[in-house]
Structures are given as structure tokens and as C-alpha cells.
Amino acid sequence: MLDSILGSLKVVTLATKTDFRSVTSREIALFEGPMGWGEFSPFLEYSYEESIPWLLSGIEAAFARIPTSIRNAIEVNATMPAINNPIEIAEILAAFAGAKVIKIKVGEDLTSDFARIACVRELRPEAKIRLDVNGLWNVDEAEEFLKQVGDIEYVEQPCSTIEELRELKLRTGVKIAGDEVIRKAKDPLSVDLAGAIDVLMLKVAPLGGISRALEIANHHQLPVAVSSALESAVGISHGLKLAAAVSKLDFACGLGTGALLAVDVAHLPIVNGSIEVKDVIPDSTALAKYAVSNERLNWWRNRIRKVWEAGAHSIIQEKGWSL
């Protein structure tokens, strides 16, 4: 299997439309298997061990049968990066056609955060608002912000630790969603989420694929939302299939982030606030146009080999995945 992955490997650089948590482009590795295309795109600073679930997710997409979809399309939220220019904010919102929910990145500057939220509310007064903090607040900061912000759907990862989330939950009636607290855990099944969160955020690549993400959701028995890790259309299509397989889906999903990319390898249009669940084949012209240098291609080949050796190979054997 490893030879097959490396033999079909394509790596591209996809620019973003704006700075997204200091990310201005994404290097994406893609490979083809008997079931279709898979994506391997852990952020460049991730260790080999931390990248294992990402490789497993890509291999599942390319080589394994996945759970049956029970939905044909997934409602998505708009995602607003931590930008402050009203014209840029309007341009970003316009890219999410028909989205009725907007997730706003906050946490780095109080004044800018409130101004960004106010701007979004002025432009889309009918939209539901959710916030994503990426664990940047302590409990007191989170409590104070949530007292002032007005009505929101939920706040995602306001504090970094389970203990802080539990304390915050005692102080606020705002729903709390957990992201990093699950996807960065050594064993997501062993994390005790009782009294800490109300909504479980599932991201297909960091959790190791659709089957593993569904196992985590079934174990914790919490309402779920599915989100992306700023993947290409190939990776997003796998996230859509996860959302389509979840037994109960009460929230719009953060799977419209292709709208934040300036270029992509395929087109997954947002139509009336939703994206169709379907297989995605990367465009050959785009693969050539956005291809990395041979030096970077070899870097990614070596990275995949190292992640394979770090533990991915043994997990694949346990799962029985093969050519």
C-alpha cells in the first residue's frame, strides 16, 4: 500500500484568500486508491505521531469502504477569519452563498473581536452566530466576553482544558462546543467530557477518518457538528461523507471552508447554504498548475514514510485495509 500511495502522490500549494490563524497557504498531499482519492494535509509543524490520524483518514478515503450516507447534502456555516476590514468581511460572507449560520474567529483582541461580531451582525442580521476561540481564553475572560456578546448559538473551545471548560459551564448558560479537547487527545475515547461541553466537534482528518470519528461520536453520546481543517475539496468531500453518516445532525457544519481558499483542486459549490455529498476527483490541470517543487514533493514522500513507520502501518494492519 505504501508504494501505491507514494506512486500516485501529488502535492499542491493552495493559497488562502486571507490570513487564517497565520495560515496564508496550505500544502496538500493527494493520492489515489481503488476507492478514490485521499488527502494527507497535517500542518507542517505537526509531528510524525500527531500526523498518523491524518494519514489514516486519507488511506480510508482511498482504500476502504466507508459507512453509508443518510444525507445527500450538508448545511454549512460561513467561517469568518480574524479580519477587521468591513469590505473584506463582506467579501468573505458573500462567498458562503445562502449560509444561515456564521462562525467567527475570536480570542486575540477584545476590541477587534467585538467590532468583527458587530460588523457581521450588521451585514447578516438574520444569521445565527457562533464563536471559535481555539482555547485562547481563561475562564474569567470567557465568562466576561460571553456576558457581553449577546445571543450566540454556541462558543467553540473557549478555554483549552477540560477543567476550565467545566468551570466555565458552571458560570454561563451559553452552549460550549469541544474541538481541540478531543482532536488533540492521545485517546479521544478516554476523555471524560461530562459537565464540560454540550456539542462535540468532529474533524475527519485529525480524528483518523470517518469510521473512527463515528466511533468517538457514538461513545460520547453528545450532539455533534462536523468541521474542516482547511483541507482541499478532496479532504472536504470526506468530511461531508462523515456528516452524511452521522445518525443525528442538529447543527450546520464547518465544511464550507473551501470558500476561504483562493484556488482549489476541484469545485464543491455552496448552493443555498448547503454542499452536495459526492466523490471528488482533483482536476489534472489544477494538480499541474499548483504543484510544489520536486524538493517539496520529496519532503512529503519522506514525511509519509516517517508517519507510516511511526504507527500508521500497524493500525492499518489491525483494520485489515489493503489494496
Give the CA angle between residues 46, 135, 118 to the nearest 5°: 120
Residue 10: what residue type? Answer: K
Nearest CA among 124, 42, 56 for reference residue 89? 124
* Grid-cell match 520529496, residue found: 298
Q: 235 near 260, Cβ under 8 Å?
A: no
The H or E element containing residue 129 is: strand 128-132
The H or E element containing residue 168 is: helix 162-171
Neighbours of 152 (CB within 10 A): 15
Q: 199 near 223, Cβ under 8 Å?
A: yes
For residue 100, indicate whether it is catalytic.
no
State how far the Cα of 144 lies from the Cα of 197, in Å rounded to an integer. 18
For residue 105, indicate whether it is catalytic.
yes
What SS3 class is residue 224? strand
Long-range Cβ contact pairs of 64-67 (< 8 A, separation 24 or more): 64/35, 64/209, 64/211, 64/319, 64/321, 65/35, 66/35, 66/209, 66/210, 66/211, 66/241, 66/245, 67/210, 67/211, 67/214, 67/245
Catalytic one of 10, 103, 105, 241: 105
User: Strand 23-33 to strand 36-40: parallel, antiparallel, or no bridges (unpaired)?
Assistant: antiparallel
Catalytic one of 10, 103, 169, 203: 203
* Grid-cell match 470567557, residue found: 142
Nearest CA among 242, 280, 289 for reference residue 258? 280
Beta bridge partners of 79: 103
- Point out the residues that are catalytic: 105, 203
